């Protein structure tokens, strides 16, 4: 129910998009600051991975919980709490005296971030009651999500070059303050008529599974893959996963219902999200190191180099949504897998003196592939679900995107940087006395190979989960019920 009628839906949509853009730019823009953070805070490669993954692990763990909190205690209230928490976390990040403090502040930032995106989406769906208007609003939301992530490296490069890496966090403060005031003035309060019950055991198991898996992958290179700590973490992740499935199957209102994965399109959508966002997250991490510490570009010039990628994401995202609505998700998924795989193939030829034209070709292919994948992920997730489960399916797909980003930074980073000699770990670029450009450039090839596998995986899974037989078996009757929906 709602405490008061919603004023001007377009304004509510704009306010929700404001929080989304802030988070999207922060997530991807931070990658351009990694070399600067390394030099300023004397961070190691492993610590740089944690600067990114500490945020995404916590975000992925709490997204479902944040949605349940909003349904029970009020969506506007939870959105405001998220804005305050995200702003406080950003402030602490901006004044962090060490990389350890920065990582801890990123965890707090993620707690706030988890209360923004899913809650804002819920506000949009309750504000727009007409299915047609709701679909358009969700389409705008999805386009802003892709655009903010695409522009993040450019904005991040400008801020780091002009002011310093701390400015990436400073810029969040006025945006969060404006969104907080506008939310209080114009966003109506709303709650679910029958809120879902909390699932603390399931929530803990999800957090343990994701954090233990990520820790084992990132720290395996430094501690040794056979060490007791690493093997214990990987074992804990496996045990948590099994325990989560068995426990959730016995609950009336599970946090994540394992039975959803009986739908081939839904299971495929989760895998597509993990593969696609793993490729994108790993690319952003490695590409920033390559451009600045191999090629010697400034953060500004490194950000500007990604403009072709940003442009293609901005073009491909809405086109993909339209094709999904008209023809279904199959064609966009084939384009997505081809673009990601082609980009990885080009990057496999890159060395310390590769022409910038070759790099632009890789960025264009990546932007096309990543821009095409968002709309079909959500469409494929909900295509085999009953209408009453469509929201849960979309929420799981969104969580899977964050899991993919986490694993991409962890796996692609670990595989690539594991090819460097151990005594060089933690020093970036010849400018800091670390590995010469040729060695670091060659080390990235192993990461691009993993990215290639992700792209080919998107192709295969896209073909399998969009077959007419798979859709019929899942009960789908046509192209997209929520075809315009994006992250």
pLDDT at 7: 56
The answer to whether residue 194 sits within a structural domain is no
Contact yes or no for 168/203 (Cβ under 8 A): no
Q: Output the 3-class SS for 194-236.
A: CCCCCCHHHHHHHHHHHHHHHHHHHHHHHHCCCCHHHHHHHHH
Q: Decide if 237 is inside a domain.
A: yes
Please tell me whether residues 429 and 318 are part of one structural domain. Answer: yes
- Give the range of the structural domain holding residue 370, as residue numbers without chain letter: 256-487
Q: Are residues 314 and 284 in the same domain?
A: yes
Q: Which residues lie closer than 8 Å to 242 by C-beta, 6 or more apart? A: none
Cα separation, 105 vs 85, whole angstroms = 10
Q: Are residues 247 and 270 in the same domain?
A: no
Q: What is the pTM of this model?
A: 0.87
Residues 23 and 49 in one domain: yes
Q: How far is CA 329 from CA 135, 259, 332, in A?
A: 16, 23, 6
Q: Give the domain CATH number at 146.
A: 1.20.1250.20
Residues 449 and 470 in one domain: yes
| CA nearest to 340, candidates 288, 416, 276 | 276
Pair 338, 242 in one domain = no
Q: Residue 165 gets which letter from DSSP?
A: T
Residue 193 lies in a domain: no
Domain contains 79: yes
Q: What is the reported pLDDT for 222?
A: 82
C-beta separation of 358 from 290 below 8 A: no
> Which tokens in the block code for residue 444?
């990235």
Residues 295 and 417 in one domain: yes
* C-alpha torsion angle, residues 291, 296, 298, 300 (rounded to 10): -30
Q: What are phi and psi of 16, to 5 degrees?
A: -65, -40
* Dihedral over alpha carbons 345, 346, 351, 354 (to 10 degrees): 170
Q: Kindly give the parts of the chain with pLDDT less than 50.
A: 1-3, 5-6, 421-435, 476-487
The answer to whether residues 174 and 27 belong to one domain is yes
3-state secondary structure of 190: strand
Whether residue 475 is contained in a domain is answered as: yes
Tokens representing 238?
């496996």
Residue 327's pLDDT is 85
- Do residues 402 and 462 share a domain? yes
Count of structural domains within the chain? 3
Number of Cβ within 10 Å of residue 120's Cβ equals: 28
Flag whether 304 is in a domain.
yes
């Amino acid at each position: 129910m709602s405490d008061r009628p919603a004023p001007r839906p377009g304004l509510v949509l704009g306010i929700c998009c404001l929080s989304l853009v802030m988070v999207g730019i922060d997530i991807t823009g931070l990658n351009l600051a990694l070399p600067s953070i390394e030099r300023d805070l004397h961070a190691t490669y492993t610590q740089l991975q944690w600067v990114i993954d500490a945020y995404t692990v916590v975000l992925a763990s709490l997204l479902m919980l944040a949605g349940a909190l909003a349904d029970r205690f009020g969506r506007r209230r939870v959105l405001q709490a998220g804005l305050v928490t995200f702003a406080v976390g950003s402030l602490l990040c901006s004044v962090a005296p060490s990389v350890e403090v920065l990582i801890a502040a990123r965890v707090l930032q993620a707690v706030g971030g988890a209360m923004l995106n899913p809650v804002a989406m819920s506000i949009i769906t309750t504000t727009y009651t007409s299915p047609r208007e709701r679909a358009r609003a969700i389409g705008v939301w999805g386009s802003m999500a892709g655009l903010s992530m695409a522009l993040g490296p450019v904005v991040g490069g400008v801020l780091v070059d002009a002011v310093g890496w701390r400015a990436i966090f400073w810029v969040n403060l006025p945006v969060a303050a404006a969104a907080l005031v506008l939310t209080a003035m114009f966003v109506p309060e709303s709650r679910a008529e029958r809120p879902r019950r909390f699932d603390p055991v399931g929530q803990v198991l999800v957090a343990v599974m994701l954090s233990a898996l990520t820790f084992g992958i990132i720290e395996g290179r430094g501690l040794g893959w056979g060490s007791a700590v690493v093997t214990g973490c990987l074992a804990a992740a496996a045990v948590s996963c099994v325990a989560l499935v068995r426990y959730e199957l016995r609950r009336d209102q599970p946090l994540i219902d394992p039975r959803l994965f009986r739908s081939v399109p839904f299971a495929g959508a989760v895998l597509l999200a993990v593969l696609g966002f793993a490729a994108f997250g790993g690319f952003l991490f490695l590409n920033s190191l390559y451009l600045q510490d191999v090629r010697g570009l400034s953060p500004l010039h490194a950000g500007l180099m990604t403009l072709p990628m940003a442009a293609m994401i901005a073009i491909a995202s809405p086109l993909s949504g339209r094709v999904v609505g008209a023809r279904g998700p199959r064609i966009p998924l084939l384009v997505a897998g081809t673009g990601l795989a082609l980009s990885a193939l080009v990057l496999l030829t890159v060395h310390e003196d590769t022409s910038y034209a070759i790099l632009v070709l890789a960025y264009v292919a990546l932007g096309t592939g990543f821009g095409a994948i968002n709309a079909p992920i959500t469409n494929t997730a909900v295509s085999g679900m009953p209408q009453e489960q469509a929201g849960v399916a979309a929420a799981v797909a969104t969580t899977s995107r964050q899991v993919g980003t986490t694993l991409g930074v962890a796996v692609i980073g670990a595989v690539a940087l594991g090819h460097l000699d151990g005594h060089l770990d933690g020093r970036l670029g010849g400018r800091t006395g670390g590995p010469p450009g040729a060695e670091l450039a060659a080390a990235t090839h192993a990461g691009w190979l993993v990215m290639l596998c992700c792209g080919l995986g998107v192709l295969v899974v896209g073909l399998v989960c969009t077959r007419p037989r798979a859709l019929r078996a899942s009960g789908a009757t046509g192209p997209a019920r929520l075809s315009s929906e994006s992250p």
